Structure 1
Amino acid sequence: MKLDSVEFTTKVIECLADADDLEPTELNYNLQDYIDPDVLIKLGKMEKGTWKITFQVSDHQVTINQDEVIYIDGIKYSEGA
């Protein structure tokens, strides 16, 4: 799997906005204030292995795995690749 950096970080932002019932442009924070997007990009470029990362963004817990499945506060928001 190789994630496109812009596409994937955009997907995370869209999921966060959906969790808040907002449009992505209405969020009052930036993803990079909570996690370095390069971390997500590097994980996404891994072709083998399994991984899962959990981090806090504003008042949400975000979990992402190697299949690009995104959970916000334990609720699946993206099915992934």
Structure 2
Amino acid sequence: MKLDSVEFTTRVIECLADADGLEPTELDYNLHDYIDPDVLRKLGEMERGTWEITFQVSDHQVTINQDGGIIIDGAKYN
């Protein structure tokens, strides 16, 4: 599944904000301080294969996969 990298990055930020009970603009950190946006872009551009990446953002553990699944601290976000 090919993912739009800007839309996907925005979804990750929205999910992180939701996990913190905040609006995305209220987060006191930037996603790019924790993971290179090019990594998300390159993964999102992959049309074949299976992948999953887990990384820390602030005090959260974030896992994303090729299907656009986002898991934060064990909770799945749609």
TM-score (norm 2): 0.97
Aligned-partner SS, 1:29: coil
Residue 30 of structure 2 aligns with which residue? Answer: 30
3-state secondary structure, aligned to 2:76:
strand
Could you list the runs of 4 or more consecutive aligned residues of structure 1 that deviate by over 2 angstroms after TM superposition?
Answer: none
What is residue 53 of structure 1 aligned with on the other side?
53
- Specify the alignment match of 1:77 in structure 2: 77
Measure the CA separation in 2 of the matches of 1:38 and 1:3. Answer: 13
Structure 1 length as normaliser, TM-score? Answer: 0.93
Unaligned runs of 5+ in 1: none
SS at match of 1:6: helix
What is the distance in 2 between the residues matched to 1:64 and 1:45? 14
Q: State the aligned residue count.
A: 78
Deviation sequence 1:43-70 (CA, Å, 0-9, x none): 1111111000000000000000110000
SS in 1 for 2:3: coil
Partner of 2:21: 21
Aligned to 1:67: 67
Gaps of 5+ in 2: none
Identity across the alignment (%): 83
